[in-house]
Amino acid sequence: MNISIINTHSHINMLKETPIEDAIKELEENNIIALVPSSSTTDIFDVDKVIKKSDNLYGYVGVFPEEVKDFCDKTLYDMEEIIKNNNKIVGIGEVGLDYYWDKSFKDLQKEVFIKQIEFANQMNLPLNIHSREAHFDTLDILKKYNKNSKAILHCFSGSLEFAKECIKEGIYISLGGVVTFKNAKSAKEVAKGIPLEYLLLETDDPYLAPVPFRGKENRPYYVKYVAEEIANLRDISVEEVTQLTTENALKIFPQLSA
């Protein structure tokens, strides 16, 4: 396949208004690859299944910060079994910290985040990371515990200065629909200011649909609007954005080029 865009974070299995067959067709017709993260101890099984529906889908296994109360030793066992039996699982995610919704179990979030980083290191797989209002703790933990896994900060919501600090540590920055929002000053600054070698594209569908679909259900195919906006902001061609971000993603996920 001549890949046009790699969408590094798409919950295609969570679409409600769009039939999944339609979303897959849009990806296949446009040579877009989508990587589907898992959010919970049960979602890992759903992602394992759903990515088998198309050559354009790959997946991550992991437990999202809001779901860490269900995380246990069996979860790591389940994730390892899924990885062993499905070579389309190419990373661990989405994992991380979220202090926006609930600060009451910060310590448990950190503990489970660390366990999943160590698991990624052991499996030699990259990390797809969710970090909301927890930027400094996320970076601290990565510096301390991540030994050998490439890391992506998904739907990056920090400042340009913080993005540069992460890049110094070799961390990739992934941008989604927010960059197209009129008032998203900081996301636009990040899109303009970071070295392209560390930029990745995503949608985080079904959430955060880009303009002109803001407020509607997002779709994995809309990643092209994210690429267009970044091209506009940087005053370069869309092809340059899609080519470079695809090369970046293939460095992290070499299995996708096969």
Please report, as ranges, the residues that interact with Ni ion according to CB under 5 A. 204
Torsional class of 163: left (φ above 0), alpha (ψ -120 to 50), beta (otherwise): alpha
Nearer to Ni ion, 43 or 204 (CB): 204
Residue 218: CB atoms within 10 A of its CB come to: 25
Taking the complex as a whole, the smallest distance from the CB of residue 155 to Ni ion amounts, in Å, to: 7
Nearer to Ni ion, 20 or 231 (CB): 20
Nearest-10 crossing angle of helices 185-193, 160-168: 40
Q: Name the token pair of 69.
A: 């109360």
In three state form, how does the secondary structure of 31-84 look?
CEEEEECCCCCCHHHHHHHHHHHCCCEEEEECCCHHHHHHCCHHHHHHHHHHHH
Nearer to Ni ion, 48 or 204 (CB): 204
Nearer to Ni ion, 8 or 248 (CB): 8
Residue nearest to Ni ion (CB): 204
Nearer to Ni ion, 46 or 240 (CB): 46
Taking the complex as a whole, the smallest distance from the CB of residue 123 to Ni ion amounts, in Å, to: 20
Taking the complex as a whole, the smallest distance from the CB of residue 30 to Ni ion amounts, in Å, to: 21
Q: H-type helices in the chain, by residue range?
A: 20-29, 43-50, 73-85, 106-123, 135-145, 160-168, 185-193, 223-234, 238-252
Taking the complex as a whole, the smallest distance from the CB of residue 64 to Ni ion amounts, in Å, to: 7
Taking the complex as a whole, the smallest distance from the CB of residue 94 to Ni ion amounts, in Å, to: 5
